[in-house]
Amino acid sequence: MSTENQTDTPDTPMVEIRDVYKRFGDLEVLKGINLTVNRGKIISIIGPSGSGKSTLLRSVNHLEVIEKGSIFLEGVQVNRPDLKGLAFERHINHIRQNMGMVFQHFNLFPHLSTIDNVTLAPRKLKGMEAKAAREWGMELLNRVGLAEKADVFPNWLSGGQKQRVAIARALAMKPKVMLFDEATSALDPELVEEVNLVMRSLAEEHMTMLIVTHEMGFARDVSDWAMFMDGGVVVEECAPQKLFSNPDQERTRNFLKKHLQG
Amino acid sequence: MDFNLMVEISPLLIKAAWITIDISVRSLFFGFFVACGLVFLQSFRFAPIRWFARGYISVIRGTPYFVQLLLVFYGGPSIGFRLDPITCGVFVGAFNIGAYMSEAIRGSIESVDSGQAEAARSLGFGRAQTLVSIVLPQAAALMIRSVGVLAIVVVKNSSLVSIISVVELTYQAQRLIGSTYKPLEIFTLTALIYIIIVYAVMGIIELAYRRAMRYTTL
Ligand SMILES: Nc1ncnc2c1ncn2[C@@H]1O[C@H](COP(=O)(O)OP(=O)(O)O)[C@@H](O)[C@H]1O
Ligand SMILES: [Mg+2]
């Protein structure tokens, strides 16, 4: 065990998922999932469609309410069956301010300009002044290479640009962890790379990330740990080099065979 | 056709048309609050409150406006609920259109992509803030159209208040026919005025809609 005491101490758990169960009616979607994401680490989750990847990611910030188990952000429990009504509402809003989420279909706010999409949360939730918010928003847009689109409405942007704005929007609250749910799946192939580049830049800055993806090459490159899910269970998890080239499980091999040749 | 007569009586009809517009605008205005109330009641967790709102909407939708008007105007006084004709027209108009409008408002709120609220919630916005900052501004654009259709219904419905002797456009037309015996001329002119009002309303709706939808690439 390491005893070093730096800020990027590798073994501090940022997100902990413990024995999580979730069902939709009769359909059991998550059947006892465990996962620890340490600070600054990047975990990729792969698996066939319908295996529960999105549900797991959405459970982390409580967009899905889990039935059993617990989820922690920096040691603070996210799901709190003991809290009800407004008390829980306050708790979860606070938790969510520390987690950024990026959706497959971007979900940008179409009635707000690009910069307002980015700055709405810091203005409304942190009381940031208009001028400071604009500067902060421009800094973030600059970072994703879209400063010149600040005053444009999202519907005028390409899919790749929309997703980059969505990433900037999620970063605006200075989250401790970023959740990506197939951020590039809805994009035309030629637009995937620009989004991947932004995600890579986050990786270089040691952002903690949980990435659900179909991009095997990208997952292998950026992640510190990879997890293969099927039917609501973790079939196999290990270092990405191993998972993508020499997995232990037959199911993993079959899945990869289909997807690597795509 | 007696065009001279049409020119001669048109000021009287136009004057009456203002009563039509006045009743319609006020019905819509108060109807909007009735509608918001109904939407609000339907969001209650306590089921009987929701049932009450649903029941009310069903009754309004299941009965003719004409009957609602007669019931309130002639039936109301026997339980001590007495309204002068114009007030009654506005009152019944508002409570009638409010039921339909609440469905239109609910529909436009529900048709905002659920991913919008999810994105807001994922940033840490609370329920109320999500509704106000994200969902309602987008629903408003859709609402303008569906409420606009109802505005036209209100204008046309208003002709029915002639039965309780409100001197609006239709009643005035009937009075003029009583003294001139020229129904073809007078009703033609009346219809023409309704068309002008209705198309003016449609024009306003369209402008407001386009303005509200500026952010799309339409
Ligand atoms: N809100 C929901 N209601 C009912 N079933 C759902 C809902 N969300 C997801 N599911 C089902 O749960 C299963 C897992 O879905 P999901 O987590 O989206 O899978 P993945 O992201 O791996 O493709 C699927 O069978 C899906 O149909
Ligand atoms: Mg999914």
Q: How do residues B63-83 score in pLDDT, each as one tens digit?
A: 999 999 999 999 999 999 999
pLDDT band of A2, cuts 50, 70, 90: very low
State the average pLDDT over residues A83-95.
93
Highest mean pLDDT among A177-181, B162-166, B213-217: A177-181
| A17: Cβ contacts below 8 Å, ≥ 6 apart | A33, A34, A35, A36, A56, A59, A60, A69, A71
Shortest Cα distance, chain B CAs vs residue A125, angstroms: 7
Q: Do B118 and A110 touch (CB under 8 A)?
A: no
Q: What is the CA radius of gyration of chain B?
A: 21
Which residue's alpha carbon is nearest to atom 16 within ligand 1? A52
Report chain B's mean pLDDT, rounded to a whole number. 93
Ligand 2 centroid – CA A78 distance (Å): 21
**What 3 state SS string does B10-63 have?**
HHHHHHHHHHHHHHHHHHHHHHHHHHHHHHHHHCCCCHHHHHHHHHHHHHHHHC
Ligand with minimal distance to A26 CA: 1
In this predicted structure, the answer to whether residue A1 has a pLDDT above a threshold of 60 is: no
pLDDT band of A121, cuts 50, 70, 90: very high
CATH of the domain at B69: 1.10.3720.10
State the average pLDDT over residues B185-211.
93
pLDDT at B216: 66
Ligand 2 centroid – CA A54 distance (Å): 4
Domain A15-261: CATH architecture, name and number where available: 3-Layer(aba) Sandwich (3.40)
Report chain A's mean pLDDT, rounded to a whole number. 92
Q: Structure pTM?
A: 0.86
Interface of B with A (CB under 8 A): 113, 115-116, 118-127, 129, 133-134, 137-138, 141, 214-217
State the average pLDDT over residues B158-164.
93
Ligand 2 centroid – CA A208 distance (Å): 20
Please identify, by atom number, the ligand 1 atom nearest to the C-alpha of residue A181.
Answer: 21
Distance from C-alpha of A256 to C-alpha of B16, rounded to nearest angstrom: 77
pLDDT at B2: 84
DSSP symbols for chain B: --HHHHHHHHHHHHHHHHHHHHHHHHHHHHHHHHHHHHHHHHT-SSHHHHHHHHHHHHHHHHS-HHHHHHIIIIIGGGGT----HHHHHHHHHHHHHHHHHHHHHHHHHHTS-HHHHHHHHHHT--HHHHIIIIIHHHHHHHHHHHHHHHHHHHHHHGGGGGGGT--SHHHHHHHHHHHH--HHHHHHHHHHHHHHHHHHHHHHHHHHHHHHTTTS--
State the average pLDDT over residues A51-77.
95
Inside any domain, residue B96: yes
pLDDT at A202: 95
State the average pLDDT over residues B75-101.
95
pLDDT at A194: 95
Inside any domain, residue B150: yes
Size of interface A-B (CB pairs under 8 A): 70
Domains: count for chain B: 1
In this predicted structure, which of A7-16, A96-105, A187-196 has the lowest mean pLDDT?
A: A7-16
Buried b / exposed e over A211-232, threshold 16 CB at 10 Å, is bbbbbbebbbebbbbbbbbbeb
State the average pLDDT over residues B110-138.
94
pLDDT at B142: 87
Ligand 2 centroid – CA A213 distance (Å): 9
pLDDT at A3: 40
In this predicted structure, the answer to whether residue A164 has a pLDDT above a threshold of 60 is: yes
- Which of A46, A49, A54 gets mutated to test ligand 1 (max ligand atoms within 8 A of its CB)? A54
Contacts of A137 in chain B (CB under 8 A): none
Task: List residues bridging with A33 in a β-sheet.
Answer: A20
Q: Is the CB of A24 under 6 A from ligand 1?
A: yes
Q: What is the largest CA-CA distance in chain A?
A: 56
End-to-end CA distance of chain A: 41
Ligand 2 centroid – CA A185 distance (Å): 10
Q: Do A107 and B116 touch (CB under 8 A)?
A: yes
Contacts of B217 in chain A (CB under 8 A): 155-156
In this predicted structure, the answer to whether residue A4 has a pLDDT above a threshold of 70 is: no
pLDDT band of A99, cuts 50, 70, 90: very high
Query: Which residue ranges make up each domain of chain A?
Result: 15-261
Distances (CA, A) of B83 to B28, B32, B88, B98: 19, 21, 5, 19
The closest alpha carbon to B88, from B170, B175, B172, B165, belongs to B165
* Closest residue, chain B, to A171 (C-alpha): B123
Q: Is the CB of A41 under 6 A from ligand 1?
A: no
State the average pLDDT over residues A127-151.
95
Q: Do B124 and A155 touch (CB under 8 A)?
A: no
Q: For chain B, what percent of residues have pLDDT higher than 90?
A: 82
Q: Is the CB of A213 under 6 A from ligand 1?
A: no
pLDDT at A134: 96
pLDDT at A258: 86
Ligand 1 centroid – CA A125 distance (Å): 31
Residue of B108, B113, B121, B122 to mutate, testing the A interface (most A Cβ within 10 Å of its Cβ): B122
- Of the candidates B123, B138, B141, the beta carbon closest to that of A121 is on B123
In this predicted structure, the answer to whether residue A125 has a pLDDT above a threshold of 60 is: yes
For residue B12, the enclosing domain spans 3-213
In this predicted structure, the answer to whether residue A262 has a pLDDT above a threshold of 70 is: no
In the structure encoding, which two tokens stand for residue A215, read together?
């991009």
pLDDT at A10: 56
pLDDT band of B218, cuts 50, 70, 90: very low
Q: A5-41: per-residue pLDDT in tens? A: 445 555 789 999 999 999 999 999 999 999 999 999 9
Inside any domain, residue B206: yes
Which residue's alpha carbon is nearest to atom 7 within ligand 1? A24
pLDDT at B211: 86
Please identify, by atom number, the ligand 1 atom nearest to the C-alpha of residue A49.
Answer: 23
pLDDT at B217: 54
In the structure encoding, which two tokens stand for residue A152, read together?
């444009």
Q: B7-58: per-residue pLDDT in tens? A: 888 999 999 999 999 999 999 999 999 999 999 999 898 999 999 999 999 9
State the average pLDDT over residues A54-71.
96
Q: Do A111 and B138 touch (CB under 8 A)?
A: yes
Q: Is the CB of A58 under 6 A from ligand 1?
A: no
Inside any domain, residue B77: yes
